[in-house]
Structure 1
Amino acid sequence: MPAVTVDDLTVLHRIKGPGLGDQPRPVTSVSTAPQGYEGEGFPVRRAFAGIDMRQLDPFIMMDQMGEVDYAPGEPKGTSWHPHRGFETVTYIIDGQFDHQDSHGGGGTITNGDTQWMTAGGGILHIEAPPEWLVVKGGLFHGIQLWVNLPKDAKMTPPKYQDLRASTVALATSQDAGALVRIIAGEVDGQGGPGATYTPMTLVHATIEPGARLDLPWPVEFNALAYVLGGHGSVGIDAHPVQMGQAAVLGAGDYVTVTGAERQESRTPALDVIIVGGRPIGEALAWAGPFVMNTKAGRFGHPQP
């Protein structure tokens, strides 16, 4: 997995364990993501499908793109499409995506890079594999997370944050058995490069078999864990989870994720996205790529 890796985890900052009186976050539900296709036909898992929007706030949805090993001629992307009223966070673990927008922006994201696009008042956008990848084929894997914007930022001018893999903050667990990549937010004083309108934390953790990650988490944030690959458990009660499953966690001070002792050969460790944020608590009018507070707002009319 080319997303940032470290040969010796013991050299990294070790995340402090739970303190006296800290409460673990209980698992309130586990769901399995349905599979489908997006854009011109690349496979996705709808990571948060079926989860109550009140438990997701400030997030709207997340897709796991792939993991798929394309044959030559198979890689696919999207056609031109609009966005308004939210942010897309595209994190590429394996493979490469080129992007271009109607404001003249564009670039390439690959192996551990993140493209953070604030659609704001509206933008047209296209994402596609580069020509060489279409010709050659190859592995493609990543996620796209949609983050809502609060009412006062809905019509902000569009902008990008191109977050290179080299800028991601790295840490490890107390037992040095988990690599924690902090893309946005802060974990035990380690801050990721992503700048957010609504306070949130986005982490990609790789947890070795038998290792345990206790992740301190702001009490005012919600928390969700989604398994990209492998087997393990979430919570101190060890709710089993596997690839394609999402766990919603309740209130508490820290999140616990443990890698199963035995893994499949193709997924030697547990890979998990852990995400949470401070709920916005505003009305939501969501239709396709438009996420506003009212139906009128989706079409550019002033919002009350």
Structure 2
Amino acid sequence: MPAVTVENPLTLPRVTTPADAQPRPALAVSTAPSGYEGEGFPVRRAFAGIDYRRLDPFIMMDQMGEVDYQAGEPKGTPWHPHRGFETVTYIMDGTFIHQDSHGGGGTITNGDTQWMTAGSGLLHIETPPEELVMSGGLFHGLQLWVNLPRKDKMIAPKYQDIRGGSVKLLSSEDGGALVRLIAGDLGGHQGPGATHTPITMAHVSVTAGASVTLPWRADFNALAYGLAGRGSAGTEGRPFQLGQAVVFGHGDSLTVRADGTQDSRSANFEVVLLGGLPIREPMMQYGPFVMNTHAELAQAFDDFQAGRLGTIPADSPYGR
């Protein structure tokens, strides 16, 4: 998992947690069902079955891979629309190319994040580069959907490309965990991602046998998802592992611990931590449209059918 790393986390700024911080309990652990997306790449639906009231402002998250493709096997998605939310695509292994009907997009690879604000709507495609299709190779990433509040649903689409080198690297107090802060604030340290909906997103590598306790905004929700390895959540030590999500309760700190022995695929317990300020508005979803009312969903579908979300560029190398 070659997402941005360092040999010695103790050389990094430390994240400190106040001694009187209230620990968040681990309320529930769920296992992500597996499936296929787009043209057939494997995904785990990380938050399937979790009550939206616990997820708000997040809508869904897919773990893409981890898969070691043979030559000719890498796959992406066909052209498809989005409206009313933001997608956050974080690539740990491999390469993905994005293109949209407004001329935006780019290439993201090991440790990079692409933040796409769909807003009023666009057409979009994600695909592996031709050289990866020809050679095969390892692919592993996440795609998170973040809701937009009603006032921002129809803003103009835009991108943020967050290169791996700009991610804020931090250490736990004892150096037992490396924290890659992609967006939001942890103990006064700020990640590079700028969000319409206030959130925190971090990829944490916890050394076998170590634990990490991080400060967490009390008005945010808190979720953890296992990317690789196994460990436990909360001071009570609720077990979770690769492919499982944790919902935390109220408090202003959260704890994750790595088991003393990890599997052969990962030396560390790899976890993504997410929290956000709940929007607390009605949320209606129909496929790639996320709005507030059924009428708005119907309008989004009509706009898509009528070509008002954009058209596929004539010079797109990825077809129609």
Tell me the TM-score range normalised by the shorter chain: over 0.9
Residue segments in structure 2 that go unaligned for 5+ positions in a row: 301-320
Aligned identity (percent) is 64
**Local SS of the residue matching 1:202:** strand
The answer (yes or no) to whether the contact 2:61–2:145 under 8 Å persists in 1 is yes
- Separation of aligned partners in 1, 2:54 and 2:190: 24
Q: Which amino acid aligns with 1:6?
A: V
**Local SS of the residue matching 1:237:** coil
Q: Which amino acid aligns with 1:195?
A: A
Deviation at 1:295, TM superposition (A): 1.2
TM-score by length of 1: 0.97
**Local SS of the residue matching 2:299:** coil
Deviation at 1:18, TM superposition (A): 3.5
The answer (yes or no) to whether the contact 1:175–1:212 under 8 Å persists in 2 is no
Q: Which amino acid aligns with 2:236?
A: D
The answer (yes or no) to whether the contact 2:17–2:187 under 8 Å persists in 1 is no
- Separation of aligned partners in 2, 1:25 and 1:257: 11
- Separation of aligned partners in 1, 2:159 and 2:206: 30
Q: Which amino acid aligns with 2:299?
A: G
Alignment match, 1:157: 156
Alignment match, 2:9: 9
User: Once the two structures are superposed, what CA deviation does each residue of 1:201-228 show, in whole Å capped at 9, x if it has no partner?
Assistant: 0000000001111010000000000000
- Separation of aligned partners in 1, 2:170 and 2:161: 21
Deviation at 1:265, TM superposition (A): 1.3
User: Once the two structures are superposed, what CA deviation does each residue of 1:229-278 show, in whole Å capped at 9, x if it has no partner?
Assistant: 00100000000111000000000010100111001111111000000100
Q: Which amino acid aligns with 1:135?
A: M
- Separation of aligned partners in 1, 2:270 and 2:140: 12
**Local SS of the residue matching 2:262:** coil
- Separation of aligned partners in 2, 1:263 and 1:91: 23
- Separation of aligned partners in 1, 2:43 and 2:100: 22
Deviation at 1:105, TM superposition (A): 1.1
- Separation of aligned partners in 2, 1:5 and 1:299: 45
**Local SS of the residue matching 2:131:** helix
Q: Which amino acid aligns with 1:7?
A: E
**Local SS of the residue matching 1:14:** coil
Alignment match, 1:72: 71
Alignment match, 1:89: 88
- Separation of aligned partners in 1, 2:235 and 2:91: 30
**Local SS of the residue matching 2:296:** helix
Q: Which amino acid aligns with 2:194?
A: A
The answer (yes or no) to whether the contact 2:17–2:253 under 8 Å persists in 1 is no
**Local SS of the residue matching 2:212:** strand
Alignment match, 1:41: 40
- Separation of aligned partners in 1, 2:263 and 2:3: 20
- Separation of aligned partners in 1, 2:23 and 2:248: 9
Q: Which amino acid aligns with 2:4?
A: V
User: Once the two structures are superposed, what CA deviation does each residue of 1:154-205 show, in whole Å capped at 9, x if it has no partner?
Assistant: 0000000011001100101111010100000011111111101111100000
Residue correspondence of structure 1 range 46-65 to structure 2 within 5 A: 46-65=45-64
Residue correspondence of structure 1 range 74-223 to structure 2 within 5 A: 74-223=73-222
- Separation of aligned partners in 2, 1:221 and 1:283: 18
The worse-fitting range, judged by mean Cα deviation, of 94-103 and 292-301 is: 292-301
Deviation at 1:300, TM superposition (A): 3.3
Alignment root-mean-square deviation, CA: 0.8
- Separation of aligned partners in 2, 1:3 and 1:236: 28
Q: Which amino acid aligns with 1:5?
A: T
Deviation at 1:299, TM superposition (A): 3.5
Residue segments in structure 1 that go unaligned for 5+ positions in a row: none
The answer (yes or no) to whether the contact 2:224–2:246 under 8 Å persists in 1 is yes
Alignment match, 1:28: 27
Alignment match, 1:297: 296
The answer (yes or no) to whether the contact 1:84–1:298 under 8 Å persists in 2 is no
